[in-house]
Amino acid sequence: MKKHALVILGGLTLGGVAVFLVLMGNPGNYGVCIACMLRDITGALGLHKVAVVQYIRPEIIGIGLGATTAALATKEFRATGGSSPLLRFSLGFVGMIGMLVFLGCPVRTVLRLASGDLNAGIGLIGLIVGIIIGTMFLIRGFSLGRANKMSPPNGYIFPTFVIGLLIAAIMMPSFIFASKTGPGSMHAPLFISLVAGLIVGIFAQRSRICMAGGIRDIIFFKDFHLMYGFIAVFIAALVGNLLVGSFKLGFADQPLAHTDGLWNFLGMLLAGLTAVLLGGCPLRQLVAASEGNTDAVITVLGLIAGAAFAHNFGLAASPKGVPAAGQLAVILGLLFTIGLGFAVCRFRLEVK
């Protein structure tokens, strides 16, 4: 059990911090949702114009800086890149659309489930099916190819961007948008969010916790290591929600959720499939991006671009439901990703 201690501790911290952040002002089950928070930052930078979801979430800044600090301290910070950057961007892009149709990343799926939101149970089944399909592509030889070592400045671009976000979050210049109403206006105090993010970032970097990886490794290798982290997030958030009285079992009237089962399922299926092909969920990508991995940076940029498109073109869901354009986008995203999977596997067979 000792070798699992760090990932369990990381999971408990993530789940506990998530409930605490909601208590301090974040929207329901929004404690540490990487997809939602990247989407809010996208809006704060004016890359989408939906006024209710714009805020520079300091948690993301904290996770980035925490992971960079931990990676530098342990000499794990390395500038690498060149492993199919455009494919990574595209997979991040379509994955984000799936997550915004479900309304949450794999982390928020667990957090929503831990507060009794059964819609997230359907999302979780979709996530698992997506991961199974992704794993089948990996078994057939899917690979985004080798990354190479790069000159150090490559690795420091993303941390510099994160520091820029921090300055913007503190100074709040007039070109940065901040919601006056809606989910974007609900947030814990800046300093608390930042410190919470730092703690999560350090634990996430050290423990390599990954939600999609937890399910993947069980299917693939019968290795439960990352799953212990996944379960720890669930248990900590469940206990936290029961303690603060925010546990409510059911489908209807859950915070920032809709009850359209089919699209909860398919949205997360797309998220799970893309996460496996990318080698990790958005949290893991954010942490890797902060360790000098420029391929993960490209993926995060894909997530941000996906969020911008999802809101500028009315693809994202709302508690009212999933717009028709969003449904079409998920179908196209699935076709694209599955087609890409087959094409990459075929190329690999030919080069062998």
- 348 is a contact residue toward another protein (CB under 8 A): no
Q: Buried b vs exposed e over 72-103: b needs ≥16 C-beta within 10 Å?
A: eeeeebebbbebbbebbbbbbbbbbbbbbbbb
Pick between residue 49 and residue 149 the one whose CB is nearest to another protein.
149
The neighbour count for residue 3, using CB atoms within 10 Å, is 8
Nearer to another protein (CB atom), residue 224 or residue 234: 224
Whose Cβ is closer to another protein: residue 144's or residue 338's? 144
d(C-alpha 182, C-alpha 175), whole Å? 20
Establish how many alpha carbons lie within 13 A of residue 141's alpha carbon, considering only the half-sphere containing its beta carbon.
Answer: 11
Amino acid at 211: M
Q: Does the footprint of another protein cover residue 160 (CB under 8 A)?
A: no
Dump strand ranges (E) for 39-134.
80-81
If binding is defined by CB under 8 A, does position 66 make contact with another protein? Answer: no
Give min distance, CB of 76 to another protein, in A: 5
Q: By CB under 8 A, what part of segment 216-255 binds another protein?
A: 216-217, 220-223, 225
Q: Is 144 among the residues that bind another protein (CB under 8 A)?
A: yes
Question: Does the footprint of another protein cover residue 2 (CB under 8 A)?
Answer: no
- Cβ-based nearer residue to another protein, 112 or 216: 216
Query: Pick from 147, 233, 271, 307: which binds another protein (CB under 8 A)?
Result: 147
Nearer to another protein, 149 or 346 (CB): 149
Q: Do residues 135 and 219 touch, judged by C-beta distance below 8 A?
A: yes
Size of the site for another protein (CB under 8 A): 27
φ, ψ for residue 321, nearest 5 deg: 140, -170
Tokens of 157: 């671009």
- Footprint of another protein on this chain (CB under 8 A)? 3, 74-76, 78, 80, 83, 138-139, 143-144, 146-149, 208, 213, 216-217, 220-223, 225, 279-280, 295
